[in-house]
Amino acid sequence: MGENPLEAICITIGRISMAVQTNLSKLIKIPQKPTNVQISVSPPTPTASMLAADSYPPHSTDTNTKAGPVTREELGRATWTFIHTLGAQYQEKPTRQQKKDVKELMAILSRIYPCKECADHFKEVLSSNPVQAGSQTEFSQWLCRVHNVVNRSLGKPTFPCEQVDARWGKLDCEHRMCDLQGTMTPFDKY
Ligand code: FAD
């Protein structure tokens, strides 16, 4: 043998390595790449169960939000929260436009509130208790009274209206930046 002995050793190691790989691949199942399979890049259409699950959309970071429809009670609580907060934040000296707006809002609620029975009942409540919105105190007390009318009709305890300011307040917003401005009508700025 006139060859380089190192070359012979390298060839032998290469053969042993090939033999080991061949035998190992027979023992271990290596996953095969799929062939002729189209990979979809669009997200899956959410099913009803996905939408109801807390985890949808998948990358949402808000873990406290329950997805899905609300109950009549949840809707009621949310709406009263909105209305009483509006009452707390209402101007002590409202503009004519602001008085008109809250009256219209109540009338609209009685037409489109998404619980027909509640909307119909509220329409009756409004007709026997016309909106009083001459000042912040007047409006928040009126709201308390009409909420109590609804409470009574549902067999719930009534709320002491002298405590309405303690229960509800202005929106907790930095530097009172969320306070309503009483100077402009919605169209003045255009
Ligand atoms: P809610 O009545 O929702 O009150 C929420 C919170 O407001 C209470 O926890 C309390 O801290 C405070 N509060 C209670 N009373 C007053 C008050 N007088 N003044 C100030 N704060 C108060 N449900 C029906 O089943 N049938 C109906 O016809 C109906 N009509 C509705 C009409 C409207 C306009 C609205 C907004 C809701 C209506 N609801 C109706 C829903 C119902 O009023 C309740 O919201 C729901 O039953 C949940 O009640 P709750 O006991 O959690 O407290």
pLDDT, position 18: 56
Q: What is the spatial distance between Cα 133 and Cα 93, in angstroms, rounded to a whole number?
A: 10
Average pLDDT over residues 2-11: 58
**Does pLDDT of 15 surpass 70?**
no
Which position has the token pair 């990979």? 39
pLDDT, position 67: 86
Q: What is the spatial distance between Cα 129 and Cα 150, in angstroms, rounded to a whole number?
A: 12
101-156 pLDDT per residue, tens: 999 999 999 999 999 999 999 999 999 999 999 999 999 999 999 999 999 999 99
Q: 93: closest CA among 180, 3, 2, 164?
A: 180
Q: What is the spatial distance between Cα 153 and Cα 82, in angstroms, rounded to a whole number?
A: 21
**Does pLDDT of 176 surpass 70?**
yes
**Residue 72 half-sphere exposure, CB side, CA atoms within 13 Å?**
6
**Does pLDDT of 187 surpass 60?**
no
Q: Is 99 in the pocket of ligand 1 (CB under 6 A)?
A: no
pLDDT, position 181: 65
> Cα of 144 to ligand 1 centre, how many Å?
10
Residue nearest to atom 16 of ligand 1 (CA): 159
Q: What is the spatial distance between Cα 119 and Cα 111, in angstroms, rounded to a whole number?
A: 6
Q: Is 117 in the pocket of ligand 1 (CB under 6 A)?
A: yes
Q: Are 101 and 93 in contact (CB under 8 A)?
A: no
Task: Give the Cα-Cα-Cα angle 122, 123, 125 (nearest 5 degrees).
Answer: 60
pLDDT, position 28: 46
28-74 pLDDT per residue, tens: 444 444 444 444 444 444 444 444 443 444 433 444 567 899 999 99
CA 86 to chain centre: 19
Residue nearest to atom 32 of ligand 1 (CA): 118
Q: Is 80 in the pocket of ligand 1 (CB under 6 A)?
A: yes
**Does pLDDT of 183 surpass 60?**
no
> Cα of 92 to ligand 1 centre, how many Å?
25
pLDDT, position 173: 84
Domain boundaries, the chain: 71-176
75-86 pLDDT per residue, tens: 999 999 999 999
Query: DSSP H helical segments within 54-135, as ranges?
Result: 72-89, 96-112, 116-128
Q: Is 121 in the pocket of ligand 1 (CB under 6 A)?
A: yes
Of 181 and 105, the structure prediction assigns the larger pLDDT to 105
pTM above 0.75, yes or no: no
- Is the link from the previous residue into 94 a cis peptide, with omega within 30 of 0? no
Fold observed for domain 71-176: Four Helix Bundle (Hemerythrin (Met), subunit A) (1.20.120)
Q: Is 156 in the pocket of ligand 1 (CB under 6 A)?
A: yes
Which position has the token pair 């053969």? 15
Ligand 1 atom nearest to 76, measured from its CA: 45
Tokens coding 38: 């189209």
pLDDT, position 4: 66
